[in-house]
Amino acid sequence: MNELRIPLDPLNPGHFFACCGLLDLLGCGTPTVRAHFTCDEATPRRAHFIVTSAERIDLAGLLDSVRGGSYEVLPHDQKAIQPVAANLNGHRLVMDWWLDTFQEDTTPLKCWAGQVTTGKLFADLPPLIDVAADPDALFYSPALTRSKFGIDPRSAWNALDFGFSPDKHNRDSATYPIVEMLGAIGLQGFRPRPDTRDRRSLEYRLWSVPLHLSVARLAAFSGWPGLPSFRYRFSIAKRGQSYKFYTFAKFEERT
């Protein structure tokens, strides 16, 4: 049995959704792939995402497929929020998680604004992916860019922290392209449900037993008796007047 072990910060929702994206790409059409998380309450900022498969797990090949994939924007009245069809290793994935059921309006999950469009995001971020990234540092390799989905809270600068505004001065800032791209892929199949009392408050669960992709999509947001998991809650906050970002999560409970 082959194994892939990825360190992550459980309090970073970007890391969680990037793990979901990895599972989506590895597990789609491969019934032997299983994945789970190992967590410890004594080390709240450290965990591992573990994928096992009877077939060889080619992480570099997977990252290369994301970096060199074809991303086609699909028709929509608003250019900034057009759906995108990704062709990755012969697998077609249509991404529209930032749109509502009728594709007329955006959901709270969408963070970008201004002149940023989905076409620009999927053009700018993939070339920044390091296909030779060490699995032990996969989610910790930054690059300089102004394009980001807002999934990783580490990229959510503000002018007070920096002492100036990178956007206003036309400067790039550090972001994590592997996390942003894998997270964008993961959000299509692993979509959190907003709290009915607060649409910008969401939760996710790190499940602790090996699960197939289809079951993991349920386990990520719905706890059921007998399934061990760690539950976290995060919010979607504003940066400046229009941009938003996913905040670091808070640990809620172990079930």
Domain ranges of the chain: 2-61+134-254
Residue with tokens 């759906």: 83
Give the whole-angstrom CA distance, residue 83 versus residue 133. 29
Contact 51, 8 (CB under 8 A): no
In whole angstroms, what is the distance from residue 63 CA to residue 124 CA?
Answer: 15
> Do 227 and 206 meet the contact criterion of CB atoms below 8 Å apart?
no
What pTM, to 2 d.p., does this model score?
0.92
Give the list of residues 6+ apart from residue 224 with CB closer than 8 angstroms, or none: none
Q: What is the pLDDT of residue 162?
A: 45
Can you give the pLDDT of all 255 residues of the chain as single tens digits? Answer: 899 999 999 999 999 999 999 999 999 888 899 999 999 888 999 999 999 999 999 999 999 999 999 999 999 999 999 999 999 877 899 999 999 999 999 999 999 998 999 999 999 999 999 999 999 999 999 999 999 999 999 987 554 454 444 555 455 578 999 999 999 999 999 999 777 677 779 999 999 999 999 999 999 998 788 899 999 999 999 887 779 999 999 999 998
What gap in Å lies between CA 225 and CA 244, rounded to an integer?
Answer: 35
Q: What is the dihedral of CA 50, 53, 56, 60, to 10 degrees?
A: -30
Gap between the Cα atoms of 219 and 189, Å rounded: 12
Residue 172 pLDDT: 58
